[in-house]
């Protein structure tokens, strides 16, 4: 079938090509489209019937002349070529080189859609990854095989944070084979460049595979890019036994492309025009992270989700939060105070933290310290709110201690340098320095033993500020 | 033989004259399984339970002659099934880490032998009705599996197998119905998932389902055979609440349906439950648990089926006389699957793209919960707890608001509470339980007659404190009276000392009914003692300084098995403190006079 070209196109719009009287074509089949100038485009069949076929063209349908466009059905699903030489390379969303080097040659081909992992074959992630960032390690620990997104907003330093995680992430006390897959969808040239340089400067570029779709590249290619990237990650993790960290930016751009195509297809919209299947579509991507019992490698996924107008209830962050195992939320107020990383603690969460920390992983007091900080900081924010109404001098002595605690927490614990790499021990010690600003009887989430062992027991008198 | 005409994602149009709606269909060379959801002339619209990638028009299709149904018999417990009851452990053994398409293994192990004991109460020649007990098999060490006559079969018993070891396919009885047809009964039978299993009559639910979670049992109780819902935005702790219920509920069987949720959550159960023991039987928790998994990356349409597969198995154990708890996590994902199929059929959407039949489907699903007198004449119940995942945490969205109309117990989870790590983040103002009146009788009889009294005091105190916090946020704490400041503090120790309960704390993860009441009583007594002291002129600052307040917050973490006297000691100290402060202030007052 692959040597035959068809030309019965009836319409082309929004990246979709409708065709009449094609032979029985399989759903998901790969397609090559040749336009009147002889240029190749790539596509995939997304709906098929006896007499019509709907093709999604990754390079878009701009400039297609219906009369002079030829379509060839390749008789195979959408697959990418994989080999160990994929590390150190840069590709576009459909796996074509972007680095002026020849395409990969290998017999290993994988369907980019993957298949569902049997839940019975999964292993529960529980190995603590030290990122060197206190707000993450101490309060929202990342574990191997977790999917932990960064919720951010326009202008916030999510890229710097993602790059710092990539540079510093390690399992304490273990040297292992690691790889990074970087998937960029609709990012600006400067953002892509920033990542490349940041990885280069830390000397890990030879362990990185990049898939890049810039803001001015075709939007539809963004639909397949995360799947291509994750297929690569699965190959590295499960065939080559590597621990793979996948960074994806920006999922909101991905969802935008999905909405564009869904609208063109005439799908019934649900919230904010996104199609009803947005949840399952995102889940297909996120759920590919994890660990499998019988394999050595792992896939840890850190997607960046920018929240339009900083709205965490927007469908993209909202549905993401329902699928991923927690979220790191960046806050504009902290950023405006000049603090980096501006991780806003109350809405941030790591669901897998409970099994990856404590004795044998980090330190025995870790879980209780994290819980105490959360509770005390929540209290402190309430008091800060109150102080903004009635003035700090009206507060009770005890309440002023909370204000001092919040200040110290934000400046000394959350805030740290971009090159500052703290061990988990350091992080917990800083946490106790700050908790010690509060009297021991205010700390009901830590144990008596913790207090005896770690609390400084000197209560500085706090002046009203 | 039919033919595939069109493939649109999971919706396949097939030329297949003569099929009926609901019938199971096999599609294409791979033999993908689907279900007929609509008929148009000779065409059938089929929803496929597996990915249709690679399926092409022109491929063959065949009707299987029966609706989507499940196998019911010994060997279900401890298993994990997918949304159409395929056994995931066996699939893994056969084909590795990924689920291949078109692979259908029997749900029940065909090789395993079960020791069957025929029922002594039935005799050859006797008339048997559907649902009656033929005999017993020990399915696990704690669960006796009662082999039932299939619910749609009845007649004269011709033969009953003697005690012995049988595989599920062995015929253990023969029954002749009134038309003279002879039915061979095996250790298992099949039942269509969309048809509720019959029973004699519906009974009142009267016994609380005890989960060991204070906020649930004491404040918003659910009954065995009741309907409950746990709505909450992401990160509010829905999963933990549900896992705690699956872990600690005093049910005989727990069926956990992971419907469109995270794979790792099911793995967590699979890995941790075998290690945990049932607080009542002492046996591994996995022995009473059954999982249905359609994780979020598994085919969407099977998600729609998964909740029916789960509840049908629950009804089967109910018919054996057991109390079964079904946790459906999450019904929102089920509704979304419904919406996805509806959208592909170009049905007219009503609210947020959901089809008009959403509310009626939800209601009829929840109606499958209940306490019944089974056809075997015994009592059994299905308690249904549905998680709801409202987009953006907005409880006015269609799935949450419809669910709220249906259920009797509503455990509303709140994001602000979760952000302050107040877990379980069950909001005391938005939650409700229509069962509190019935539960009260049980608590009065088994725990303490004053239960309702204390419960009501606590809820009133919480409501008062919410009101006071609003005032404080407007004008500061100085505006409050002494009594009001004490009420605010009392609400705090009530929240920290009673409402908050850590699932991770080995002692506090489960709280017995007696301990629940004892804790509640101590906190309320502490509060009323304070009020008494304020009334004789003790300043509130003096009260707030008492170290006993910090200790009250830690009472929940005390293991009463190791320190059985701890609460009595606390109570005595409280009395002593009250007396000493009373006398001190009485003297002060005399002096000042």
User: Cβ of B554 and A444 within 8 Å?
Assistant: yes
Alpha helices in B476-539 (DSSP H): 482-494, 513-535
- Residue B314: C-alpha distances to residues A119, A283, B290, B310, B371 (Å): 21, 28, 10, 6, 12
Q: Which of A77, A94, A121 is the last residue of a domain?
A: A77
| Nearest chain B CA: its distance from A158 CA (Å) | 21
| Nearest chain B CA: its distance from A168 CA (Å) | 25
Q: How far apart are the first and last CA of chain B?
A: 104
Query: Residue A2 above 60 pLDDT?
Result: no
Confirm whether A101 is domain-assigned.
yes
- Looking at residues A393-408, what average pLDDT do you find? 90
Distance, in Å, from the CA atom of A281 to the CA atom of A222, rounded to the nearest integer, reads 13
Which residues lie across from B11 on neighbouring strands? B8, B47
Q: Which of A30, A49, A77 is the last residue of a domain?
A: A77
**CATH number for domain B451-592, candidates 3.40.50.300, 3.90.1150.10, 2.30.30.100, 1.10.1140.10:** 1.10.1140.10
Closest chain B residue to A375 measured between Cα atoms? Answer: B420
| Nearest chain B CA: its distance from A54 CA (Å) | 10
For residues A184 and A308, membership in a common domain is answered with: yes
Distance, in Å, from the CA atom of B161 to the CA atom of B186, rounded to the nearest integer, reads 10
Distance, in Å, from the CA atom of A297 to the CA atom of A295, rounded to the nearest integer, reads 6
Give the phi and the psi of residue A407 in degrees, each rounded to 5.
-60, -50
Any B CB within 8 A of A368 CB = no
Q: Which of B12, B93, B231, B234 to mutate to test the interface with A (most CBs of A within 10 A)?
A: B234
The angle subtended at Cα B381 by Cα B379 and Cα B383, nearest 5°, is 165
Residue A197 CB neighbours (<10 A): 12
User: Using one digit for the tens of pLDDT, what is the confidence trace for B364-414?
Assistant: 999 999 999 999 999 999 999 999 999 888 999 999 999 999 999 999 999
User: Cβ of A116 and B13 within 8 Å?
Assistant: no
Distance, in Å, from the CA atom of B159 to the CA atom of B180, rounded to the nearest integer, reads 15
The angle subtended at Cα B168 by Cα B163 and Cα B172, nearest 5°, is 40
Q: Output the pLDDT for position B593.
A: 58
Query: Residue A461 above 70 pLDDT?
Result: no
Secondary structure letter of residue A95 according to DSSP: S
- Looking at CATH, the fold of the domain delimited by B2-67 is given as Elongation Factor Tu (Ef-tu); domain 3 (2.40.30)
- Residue A399: C-alpha distances to residues A40, A384, B510 (Å): 68, 9, 34
Alpha-carbon dihedral sign for residues B216, B220, B225, B228: negative
Q: CB under 8 Å to B256, separation ≥6 — which residues? A: B242, B246, B266, B269, B289, B290, B291, B292, B327, B329
Q: How far apart are the first and last CA of chain A?
A: 78
- Domain membership of residue A72 as a residue range: 5-77
Q: Output the pLDDT for position A78.
A: 92
Which residues lie across from B409 on neighbouring strands? B228, B433
Q: Which of A19, A46, A77 is the last residue of a domain?
A: A77
**Tokens linked to B367:** 């109606």
Confirm whether A462 is domain-assigned.
no
As separate numbers, helices (DSSP H) first and strands (DSSP E) second, chain A gives: 13, 21
Distance, in Å, from the CA atom of B101 to the CA atom of B175, rounded to the nearest integer, reads 38
Pick from B32, B49, B95, B11: nearest CA to B294: B49
Confirm whether A361 is domain-assigned.
no
In B, which residues are within 8 Å of A287 by CB distance? 262-263, 295-297
ipTM topping 0.90: no
For residues A89 and A72, membership in a common domain is answered with: no
User: Cβ of A275 and B343 within 8 Å?
Assistant: yes
Q: Output the pLDDT for position A66.
A: 86
Confirm whether A163 is domain-assigned.
yes
Secondary structure letter of residue B217 according to DSSP: I
Is the distance from CB of A324 to CB of A148 less than 8 angstroms?
yes
In B, which residues are within 8 Å of A24 by CB distance? 56-59
Q: Which of B233, B271, B297 to mutate to test the interface with A (most CBs of A within 10 A)?
A: B297
Query: Residue A393 above 90 pLDDT?
Result: no
Q: Rg of chain B's alpha carbons, rounded to an integer?
A: 28
Query: Residue A465 above 60 pLDDT?
Result: no
CB pairs under 8 A between A and B: 218
Confirm whether A461 is domain-assigned.
no
Q: Which residue has the tokens 């003790």?
A: B538
User: Which CATH homologous superfamily contains domain B201-446?
Assistant: P-loop containing nucleotide triphosphate hydrolases (3.40.50.300)
Q: Which residue has the tokens 């700090």?
A: A392
User: Cβ of A287 and B55 within 8 Å?
Assistant: no
- Residue B503: C-alpha distances to residues B237, B275, B316 (Å): 11, 16, 31
For residues A103 and A53, membership in a common domain is answered with: no
For residues A131 and A186, membership in a common domain is answered with: yes
Q: How many domains does chain A have?
A: 3
Alpha helices in A148-290 (DSSP H): 158-168, 189-201, 221-234, 251-265, 278-286
* Domain of residue A18, CATH code: 2.40.10.170
| Nearest chain B CA: its distance from A324 CA (Å) | 8
In A, which residues are within 8 Å of B474 by CB distance? 389
Query: Residue A20 above 90 pLDDT?
Result: no
- Residue B250: C-alpha distances to residues A28, A123, B60, B208, B506 (Å): 48, 29, 50, 9, 18
Let me know how long chain B is.
593
Closest chain B residue to A441 measured between Cα atoms? Answer: B550
Distance, in Å, from the CA atom of B273 to the CA atom of A124, rounded to the nearest integer, reads 13
Any B CB within 8 A of A295 CB = yes
Distance, in Å, from the CA atom of B31 to the CA atom of A80, rounded to the nearest integer, reads 26
Per the prediction, chain A carries an average pLDDT of 90
The domains of chain B are located at: 2-67, 109-187, 201-446, 451-592
Pick from A127, A166, A58: nearest CA to A358: A127
* Domain of residue A423, CATH code: 1.10.1140.10
Q: Which of B80, B97, B343 sits opposite A294 (nearest CB)?
A: B97
Residue B103 CB neighbours (<10 A): 14
Counting as low any pLDDT under 50, the low residues of chain B are none
Confirm whether A447 is domain-assigned.
yes
For residues A147 and A239, membership in a common domain is answered with: yes
Confirm whether A203 is domain-assigned.
yes
Query: Residue A269 above 70 pLDDT?
Result: yes
User: Cβ of A386 and B473 within 8 Å?
Assistant: yes
**Tokens linked to A392:** 């700090």
For residues A306 and A439, membership in a common domain is answered with: no
**Tokens linked to B497:** 């000392």
Q: Output the pLDDT for position A462.
A: 45
User: Using one digit for the tens of pLDDT, what is the confidence trace for A171-224?
Assistant: 877 767 889 999 999 999 999 999 889 888 888 888 999 999 999 998 899 999
Q: Output the pLDDT for position A458.
A: 64
In B, which residues are within 8 Å of A318 by CB distance? 233-234, 391-392
Q: Which residue has the tokens 């419904």?
A: B338
Q: Output the pLDDT for position B382.
A: 98
Query: Residue A354 above 90 pLDDT?
Result: no
Residue A81 CB neighbours (<10 A): 15
For residues A347 and A396, membership in a common domain is answered with: no
Q: Output the pLDDT for position A463.
A: 42
User: Cβ of A49 and B7 within 8 Å?
Assistant: yes
In A, which residues are within 8 Å of B554 by CB distance? 444
How many Cα atoms are found within 13 Å in the side-chain-facing hemisphere of A1?
16
Q: Which of A28, A271, A385 sits opposite B391 (nearest CB)?
A: A271
Q: CB under 8 Å to B529, separation ≥6 — which residues? A: B574, B578
For residues A168 and A29, membership in a common domain is answered with: no
| Enclosing H/E stretch for B229 | strand B227-231
**Tokens linked to B270:** 């699979």
User: Cβ of A295 and B97 within 8 Å?
Assistant: yes
Pick from B248, B214, B220, B245: nearest CA to B518: B214
- Looking at CATH, the fold of the domain delimited by B109-187 is given as OB fold (Dihydrolipoamide Acetyltransferase, E2P) (2.40.50)
For residues A202 and A58, membership in a common domain is answered with: no
User: What SS3 class is residue B238?
Assistant: helix
User: Using one digit for the tens of pLDDT, what is the confidence trace for A113-172?
Assistant: 888 899 999 999 989 999 999 999 999 999 999 999 999 999 999 999 999 998 888 887
For residues A318 and A450, membership in a common domain is answered with: no
For residues A298 and A398, membership in a common domain is answered with: no
Confirm whether A127 is domain-assigned.
yes
Any B CB within 8 A of A396 CB = yes
Distance, in Å, from the CA atom of B406 to the CA atom of B385, rounded to the nearest integer, reads 12
* Domain of residue A102, CATH code: 3.40.50.12240
Any B CB within 8 A of A397 CB = no
């Amino acid at each position: 079938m692959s040597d035959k070209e068809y030309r019965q196109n009836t319409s082309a719009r929004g990246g979709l090509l409708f065709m009449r009287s094609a032979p029985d074509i399989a759903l998901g089949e790969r397609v090559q489209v040749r336009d009147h100038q002889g240029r190749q485009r790539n596509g995939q069949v997304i709906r098929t019937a006896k007499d019509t076929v709907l093709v999604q063209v990754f390079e878009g349908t701009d400039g297609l002349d219906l009369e002079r466009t030829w379509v060839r059905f390749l008789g195979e699903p959408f697959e990418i070529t994989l080999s160990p030489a994929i590390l150190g390379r840069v590709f576009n969303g459909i796996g074509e080189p972007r680095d002026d080097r020849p395409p990969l040659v290998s017999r290993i081909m994988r369907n980019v859609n993957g298949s569902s992992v049997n839940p019975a074959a999964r292993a529960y992630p529980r190995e603590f990854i030290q990122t060197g960032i206190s707000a993450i390690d101490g309060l929202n620990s990342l574990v191997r095989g977790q999917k932990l997104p960064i919720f951010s907003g326009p202008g916030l330093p999510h890229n710097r944070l993602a790059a710092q995680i990539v540079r510093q992430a390690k399992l304490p006390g273990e040297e292992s084979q690691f790889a990074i897959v970087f998937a960029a969808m609709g990012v600006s040239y400067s953002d892509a460049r920033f990542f490349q340089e940041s990885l280069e400067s830390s000397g890990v570029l030879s362990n990185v595979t990049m898939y890049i779709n810039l803001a001015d590249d075709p939007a539809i290619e963004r639909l397949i890019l995360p799947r291509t990237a994750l297929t690569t990650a699965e190959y590295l993790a499960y065939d080559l036994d590597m621990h793979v960290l996948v960074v994806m930016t920006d999922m909101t751009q991905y969802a935008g492309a999905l909405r564009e195509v869904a609208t063109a297809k005439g799908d019934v919209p649900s919230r904010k025009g996104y199609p009803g299947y947005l949840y399952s579509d995102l889940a297909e991507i996120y759920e590919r992270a994890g660990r499998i019992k019988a394999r050595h490698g792992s896939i840890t996924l850190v997607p960046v989700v920018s929240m339009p107008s900083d709205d965490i209830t927007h469908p993209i962050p909202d549905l993401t939060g329902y699928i991923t195992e927690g979220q790191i939320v960046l806050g504009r107020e902290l950023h405006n105070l000049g603090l980096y990383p501006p991780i806003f603690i109350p809405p941030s969460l790591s669901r897998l933290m409970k099994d990856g920390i404590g004795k044998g992983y980090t330190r025995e007091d870790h879980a209780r310290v994290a819980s105490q900080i959360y509770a005390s900081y929540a209290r402190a924010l309430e008091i800060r709110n109150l102080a903004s109404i009635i003035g700090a001098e009206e507060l009770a002595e005890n309440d002023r201690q909370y204000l001092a605690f919040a200040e110290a927490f934000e400046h000394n614990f959350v805030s740290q340098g971009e090159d500052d790499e703290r061990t988990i021990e350091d992080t917990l010690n800083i946490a106790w320095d700050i908790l010690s600003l509060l009297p021991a009887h205010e700390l009901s989430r830590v144990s008596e033993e913790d207090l005896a062992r770690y609390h400084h027991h000197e209560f500085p008198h706090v002046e009203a500020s | 033989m039919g033919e595939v005409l069109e493939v649109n994602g999971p919706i396949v149009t097939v030329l297949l004259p003569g099929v009926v709606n609901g019938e199971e269909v096999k599609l294409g060379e791979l033999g993908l399984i689907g279900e007929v959801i609509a008929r148009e002339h000779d065409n059938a619209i089929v929803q496929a339970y597996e990915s249709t990638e690679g399926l092409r028009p022109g491929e063959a299709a065949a009707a299987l002659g029966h609706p989507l149904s499940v196998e019911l018999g010994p060997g279900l417990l401890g298993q994990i099934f997918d949304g159409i009851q395929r056994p995931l452990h066996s699939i893994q053994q056969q084909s590795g880490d990924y689920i291949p398409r078109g692979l259908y293994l029997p749900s029940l192990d065909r090789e395993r032998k079960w020791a069957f004991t025929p029922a002594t109460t039935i005799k050859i020649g006797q008339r048997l009705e559907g649902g009656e007990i033929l005999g017993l098999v020990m399915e696990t060490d704690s669960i006796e599996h009662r082999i039932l006559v299939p619910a749609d079969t009845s007649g004269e018993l011709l033969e009953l197998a003697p005690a012995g070891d049988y595989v599920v396919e062995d015929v253990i009885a023969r029954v002749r119905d009134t038309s003279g047809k002879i039915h061979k009964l095996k250790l298992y039978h099949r039942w269509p998932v969309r048809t509720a299993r019959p029973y004699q009559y519906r009974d009142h639910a009267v016994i609380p389902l005890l989960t060991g979670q204070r906020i649930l049992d004491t404040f918003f109780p659910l009954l065995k055979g009741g309907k409950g819902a746990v709505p909450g935005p992401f990160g509010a702790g829905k999963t933990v609440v549900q896992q705690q219920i699956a872990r600690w509920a005093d049910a005989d069987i727990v069926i956990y349906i992971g419907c469109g949720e995270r794979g790792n959550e099911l793995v967590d159960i699979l890995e941790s439950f075998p290690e945990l023991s049932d607080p009542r039987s002492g046996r591994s928790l996995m022995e009473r648990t059954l999982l249905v998994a359609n994780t979020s990356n598994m085919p969407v349409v099977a998600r729609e089926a998964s909740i029916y597969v789960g509840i049908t198995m629950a009804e089967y154990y109910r018919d054996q006389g057991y109390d079964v708890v079904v946790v459906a996590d999450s019904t929102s994902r089920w509704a979304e699957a419904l919406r996805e199929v509806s959208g592909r059929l170009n049905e007219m959407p009503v609210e947020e793209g959901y089809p008009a039949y959403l509310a009626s489907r939800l209601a009829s699903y929840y109606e499958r919960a209940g306490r019944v007198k089974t056809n075997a004449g015994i009592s059994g119940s299905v308690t249904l707890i549905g998680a709801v995942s409202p987009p953006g945490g907005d409880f006015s969205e269609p799935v949450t608001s419809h669910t709220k109309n249906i259920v009797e117990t509503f455990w509303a989870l709140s994001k602000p509470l979760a952000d302050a790590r107040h877990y379980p983040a069950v909001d005391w103002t938005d939650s409700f339980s229509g069962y509190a009146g019935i539960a009260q009788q049980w608590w009065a009889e088994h725990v303490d007659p004053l239960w309702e009294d204390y419960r009501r005091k606590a809820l009133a105190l919480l409501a008062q404190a919410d009101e006071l916090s609003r005032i404080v946020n407007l004008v500061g704490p100085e505006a409050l009276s002494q009594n009001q400041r004490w009420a605010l503090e009392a609400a705090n120790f009530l929240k920290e000392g009673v409402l908050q309960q850590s699932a991770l704390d080995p002692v506090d993860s489960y709280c017995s009914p007696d301990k629940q009441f004892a804790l509640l009583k101590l906190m309320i007594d502490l509060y009323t003692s304070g009020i008494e002291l304020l009334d004789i002129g003790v300043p509130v600052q003096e009260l707030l300084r008492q170290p006993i307040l910090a200790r009250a917050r830690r009472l929940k973490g005390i293991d009463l098995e190791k320190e059985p006297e701890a609460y009595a000691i606390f109570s005595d100290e409280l009395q002593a403190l009250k007396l000493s402060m009373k006398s001190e202030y009485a003297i002060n007052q005399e002096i000042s006079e």
